[in-house]
Structure 1
């Protein structure tokens, strides 16, 4: 008797159906699993997230969760896409190309503040979840047809450049905040503690620019530094746009 051929298994979780609902002992869904994982990551950090710990938070056995997510990597992808869903829910990116890119940058930074673990998952991978794709689509569409952005390559370059700046900025910010927590010192306290050493090094005459930084730099707040850096990026993009003929 010939066997019925097996249907090919969909590789990506976004197109793989969930198991049939089971009302007992407790109904599960990918949405509930992701919400529990988000809460765990927000309160205890990304290192605390595992299928076993999420299952415990849901009072379910780990093997039940594996019917919804096959690996921890899939769980992390679902978490990132849920955050992109929060960004999409803020509405379209409106206004001029500058305003749209600024709004995109600020939304991403706010999301990183709400979910400090997010920055570790924004690099080194392409996110293909439906919310991530919707957010990318919104960013590209906001520039489509704007003067100077007549080609897709120009749009991709602008969006990619702003994204690269944002990820770098929020990673630096996260690193500084983490260092403050681990050392128990604020940024100013750390600078005060290390200044005698730096002054001795500058006094050697080998580091004149560092000496100038110590004497003259204003060291703005994270918010101000982010806005100033973003202004530099947007001004740089503006200089590359074709000049309009008078």
Structure 2
């Protein structure tokens, strides 16, 4: 029996998790996992377009002023509420907390962790640069567009090669697949064609068909209220930040 077929995890009390969230790929990772775990959680919107991420209450939880972040009000050690930021750390924490989507056997667990690290170090940052230079930059920079579009193409190829002989990126369906899927979901924005990567496309469509993935991906979409993320004011907030005095 695979982990995705395992019995539902033990609950840790009603809505033990507060998720500080905005509908972005890094936010989707956590809502998707929480839906897969059937874990009760409170969605706490952090409107990054308005600068909510710089509010003192949020900075006390996420000092890097980034979403997502969580507060676990019923940690398994029985201690005081536990705050955590950075999406990869949150995924690993929640998976370990619930005993799903992160294998216990060392070799399998490290395989998951390597693909999770690959997403954090390579896929996510490169996709972010593609988005920036193709859609958000105030001027067209052909070299940057070509450089990062080529690199995201190479990374799609890495996943495609891995998935040629593997159903999922690691062993069974895991937090590594969730983390990477949230970024591949924006393949059109990356100027890529999934049909050019048949093994990646098979994997992508299989994960997209999971009800929890569909629900988690759509969580909070109404927060955007149909408006563009990158208004003039939001551009200043999101792209014009430098170090702040603490």
Fold agreement, TM-score > 0.5? no
Using structure 1 for the length normalisation, give the TM-score.
Answer: 0.32
Using structure 2 for the length normalisation, give the TM-score.
Answer: 0.32
Specify which structure has the bigger relative contact order, considering alpha-carbon pairs within 8 angstroms and separated by 6 or more residues: 2
Higher strand share: 2
